[in-house]
Amino acid sequence: MDPTSSKRPPKLRSACNECHAAKVRCSGEKTGCQRCGNLHLKCAFSISRIGKVPGKRSKANRVAAAAASTSAPISTVSSSITTPVMSPPLLTPAHSYESPRSFGGRNVPMPATSYPFPQEYPPSTLPHATQGYFQSTPEDVANYSNLCWTTELDQLGGPGLLSPDWEIDADDPVPVANTAPASYPNLHPVERSISKADASPTEFMPSPQCTSYLHLINGIELSIQHASHCRSRGSENAQPSVLDSILGASQRYLTPLLQITESPAFTHTYSEEHLLFSVALDKIIYLFSLGYGELQRRMEIHEGMSMGCNAPADRWFRSGPYGVDFIDQLALYRRVFVEEMKRARLCLGRLIDIMGPTTTGRHEGLCEDMKRRLDGLMEELERDHGLHMSI
């Protein structure tokens, strides 16, 4: 049925399809509203549904609507999409842009006249940027590539941003100005284990001297254990070997310590390596005390045997290819002990010089104890030497 043959002509809407979709006021000219003329849009009016029951439509209006839909397809806002509460009005039209000259991108910031249909929106009440809630047709997407967005994209974040009519969909092939990405320094996390640092001195002192210090301390400990074990057995035949092992160990371990004190790294500044040095020197002084105790024990044994025998005591204690008697052996041991203690005193003096007044109290107590023990041993050896010389 032709809609013109109905009893009453169909009543058209007061706003065209474009203004209705953009939710703006339409001037209402049936030949073409002012907004569609400014934007070069196709102005079309649909049939009004005022006074009609929802879901009901006359045959005339139904035929007219079918004819209008086939002649001019339009895209409408989906009814399933809802606008959130307190959101600004949406001005996003569902149409294809054909010319960018009508958007007024000449002045910065954008003037209020660059908005579509500016007489409806004073400059003080311009809406803020919102997200588009429309579905664009393939024709609209194809026409986006003809626009020049470079100038407008540079104004993002400024006042007067034309967000409703300038929104870009994520699927639109719109070229974006290439910007240099921000460069950030590469930060590498540093892992630190406190428990491992406390477990061993080498974890927090990665110095090549630490290995030599640890070897020295280990060797001195083995010599101390060997001397203590031999003295606990009480064998007279093992006594000379105890003195020989103690003197040999002192000569073997004091030599590298003296070489370390002459190196520039030792005399430069006081560091944690000097603590290992003081530990090794303290163990050597303890080894000297064991040797001196064994020397005193042998003297007591010799005196006891000489008092109970009528023959001279030196006949009982001759050894070696030259037949050195016991008195000469003790004098030789005493002389070597004195020389080694002088070397140990030299190492201790250099350690105290490195410590200086700035490190007072760090290892000052240990150095004072070592100095006191060395001086005591030297006095004992000199006194014993004077007694034997008088005899």
What local confidence, expressed as pLDDT, does residue 346 receive? 92
Cβ burial, residue 245 (10 Å; 0-12/13-18/19+): middle
Closest listed residue to residue 94, CA positions, set 184, 183, 17, 175: 17
Contact (CB, 8 A) for 292 and 337: yes
Contact (CB, 8 A) for 136 and 169: yes
What local confidence, expressed as pLDDT, does residue 329 receive? 79
What pLDDT tens digit does each residue of the chain (391 aa) get?
555 555 667 788 889 999 999 999 998 888 889 999 899 898 998 888 776 555 555 666 677 777 776 655 444 444 444 444 454 444 544 444 444 444 444 445 555 444 444 444 444 444 444 444 444 454 544 444 444 444 444 444 444 444 444 444 545 554 554 545 555 445 454 444 444 434 444 444 446 667 778 888 888 898 888 888 877 765 444 455 788 888 888 888 899 888 888 888 777 777 777 888 888 999 999 999 888 888 888 777 767 666 555 444 444 555 555 566 777 778 888 888 889 999 999 998 988 887 766 555 556 678 888 989 999 988 888 887 655 544 4
DSSP state of 55: T
Other CB atoms within 10 A of residue 2 CB: 9
Copy the structure tokens of residue 380. 């004992």
What local confidence, expressed as pLDDT, does residue 278 receive? 87
What does 119-188 look like in DSSP terms, one character per residue?
GGS-GGG------------HHHHHHGGGS--HHHHTTTTSTT--TTTT---TTS-------PPPP---PP
What local confidence, expressed as pLDDT, does residue 56 receive? 58
The greatest distance separating any two alpha carbons of the chain, rounded to the nearest whole angstrom, comes to 165
Contact (CB, 8 A) for 20 and 91: no
Domain limits, the chain: 3-71, 102-176, 201-390
Cβ burial, residue 39 (10 Å; 0-12/13-18/19+): buried
Contact (CB, 8 A) for 114 and 50: no
**Residue 12, helix vs strand vs coil:** strand
Q: CA torsion, points 308, 311, 317, 322, in degrees to nearest 10?
A: 170
What local confidence, expressed as pLDDT, does residue 343 receive? 92
The Cα–Cα gap between 153 and 170 comes to 15
**What percentage of the chain's residues is helix, strand, coil (to nearest 5)?**
55, 0, 45
Give the amino acid at 239: Q
The Cα–Cα gap between 255 and 268 comes to 20
CATH class, domain 3-71, is: few secondary structures
